[in-house]
Amino acid sequence: MNQEAVDHKNIFFPPGGILLWIIIFLELMTFGVALVIMVYESKAEPVQFHDSRLLLNVTYGMINTIFLLTSGFFMALSVKEMNFYGKQRLKKYLPATILFGSLFLLLKSVEYYEKIEAGLGMGHSTFFNYYWMLTLFHVIHVIVGLIILISVYVGIKKESTTIEDIEASAAFWHMCDLIWLLLFPMLYLLF
Amino acid sequence: MGKTITITWVFLLVLTITTALISEIKDTYISVLILILAALKFTAVSFQFMELKKAHLFWKILILSYLLLFIALIIIIF
C-alpha cells in the first residue's frame, strides 16, 4: 500500500500542488471576468443575446457536460486507486478519462462545424464572438490537458513520474471541468 | 473503492440533466436557479473530485469566495 506522503492540510500543499492551484485561480479569474463582461454587454443587446443563445444546441452542451464530468469521475477514481495501490493502478481508469475527454472534443468539433455551416462564425454577433472566444479558449485547455494525460499514461513506468506530478495533471484536468461548468449555463441557458 | 466519488458523479449527472430541463421553463427566477445549480456542481467537482475537502481551510474559503463573488456579480448585472 502506497499512502500519500504529503500532508494536504498544510496550506502550502493543496492536492495537486500550490503552483497548479495558482494557475487554476488565474484561469478561473480570466474566464470569470470575461463572463461578467459578457453579461454586462448583453444588457445593451438583450434581444440579440436571447435570439443567438437559442441558436445553440442545448442537447450538445448537456452531453458534453456529461462527457467532461464522466472523464473527471474516472480521473478522480484513478488518483484514489493510485494513492492506495501505487501509480501502476493508473492504467485501470486513465484510458476512460482520456476517452471521455476525446469524446468532448469530437462533439465540440461537430458543433463547431454546424455553426460554421450555418454562418454563425466569429463576427456574426456579439454573443457569437463571446461564444467562439470562450469555448475555443476552453478547448485549447482540454487539448493541453489530454496531451498531459497521455504523457502521464505513457510515462507511468518512469521513475521521474512522481505521484505529485500525476496529482497536478489531475488537478489541471479537473480545472477544465470547472471552467466548462461555468461556460455551459452562461452560454447555453442563461440568456 | 470510490463510493463517495461515484455518488458525486451521479449527483452531478442528475444536476446537469435537471439544469437543461428547467432552462426550458420561462420564468424570471429560472436564471437564478440555473446559476445555483451550476454553483453546486462547481463545489462538488472542486471538493470531491479535486479533493479540496482534504486541503487547508484557506483553499476552501478561496474557491468558495470566488464562486460566491462570481454568482453575485452575474445576478446583480443580469
We report the CATH number of the domain holding residue A53 as: 1.20.120.80
Surface of B (23-52) touching A: CB under 8 A: 23, 31, 34-35, 37-38, 41-42, 45-46, 48-52
**DSSP secondary structure string, chain B?**
--HHHHHHHHHHHHHHHHHHHHTTS--TTHHHHHHHHHHHHHHHIIIIIS-GGGS-HHHHHHHHHHHHHHHHHHHHH-
pLDDT > 50? residue A3: no
Q: Which one of B13, B35, B54 has the shortest CB-CB distance to A66?
A: B13
Give the C-alpha separation, A173 to A25, whole Å. 14
Q: What is the pLDDT of residue B27?
A: 77
Cell of B72: 453575485
- Evaluate whether residue A86 is within a structural domain: yes
Give the C-alpha separation, B36 to A177, whole Å. 17
Contact between residue B71 and residue B39 where contact means Cβ atoms under 8 Å apart = yes
DSSP state for residue B53 in the 8-state scheme = G
Q: Which one of A9, A42, A62 has the shortest CB-CB distance to B56?
A: A9
Cross-chain Cβ contact B70/A182 below 8 Å: yes
Determine the 3-state secondary structure of B47 from DSSP: helix
Interior CA angle at A87 toward B52 and A2, to 5°?
Answer: 75
- Evaluate whether residue A57 is within a structural domain: yes
What single letter denotes the amino acid at residue A53? Answer: R
Residue-number span of the structural domain to which A84 is assigned = 18-189
Contacts of A42 in chain B (CB under 8 A): 78
pLDDT in tens, A10-60: 888 888 889 999 999 999 999 999 999 999 999 999 999 999 999 999 999
- Evaluate whether residue A172 is within a structural domain: yes
Q: How many domains does chain B have?
A: 1
Task: Assess A101–B contact: CB distance below 8 Å, yes or no.
Answer: no
Cell of A90: 493508473
Cross-chain Cβ contact A80/B5 below 8 Å: yes
Q: What is the pLDDT of residue B1?
A: 62
**What does chain A come to in residues?**
191
Q: CB-based contacts of B66: which residues, under 8 Å, 6+ apart? A: A25, A28, A29, A32
User: What's the Cα-to-Cα distance from B27 to each of A24, A100, B23, B30, rounded to whole Å?
Assistant: 34, 34, 9, 5
Q: What is the pLDDT of residue A2?
A: 47
Give the C-alpha separation, A76 to A147, whole Å. 18
Contacts of A16 in chain B (CB under 8 A): 50
pLDDT > 90? residue A4: no
Cross-chain Cβ contact A181/B42 below 8 Å: yes
Question: What are the φ/ψ torsions at residue A159 (nearest 5 degrees)?
Answer: -60, -35
Q: Min CA distance, B35 vs chain A (Å)?
A: 7
Task: Assess B14–A contact: CB distance below 8 Å, yes or no.
Answer: no
Give the C-alpha separation, A160 to B60, whole Å. 31
Q: How many domains does chain A have?
A: 1
pLDDT in tens, A139-178: 999 999 999 999 999 988 787 778 888 999 999 999 999 9
Give the C-alpha separation, A32 to A178, whole Å. 11
Give the C-alpha separation, A147 to A176, whole Å. 13
Determine the 3-state secondary structure of A135 from DSSP: helix
Task: Assess A23–B contact: CB distance below 8 Å, yes or no.
Answer: no
Contacts of A9 in chain B (CB under 8 A): 54-56
Q: Which one of A62, A70, A181 has the shortest CB-CB distance to B45?
A: A181
The pLDDT confidence band at residue A5, using thresholds 50, 70 and 90, is low
Q: What is the pLDDT of residue B62?
A: 95
pLDDT > 70? residue A1: no
Residue-number span of the structural domain to which B10 is assigned = 3-77
Complex prediction ipTM: 0.93
Task: Assess B54–A contact: CB distance below 8 Å, yes or no.
Answer: yes
pLDDT in tens, A79-118: 998 888 887 888 889 999 999 999 999 999 999 999 999 9
For chain B of 78 residues, list the mean pLDDT of each consecutive stretch of 10: 90 94 83 93 95 93 96 92
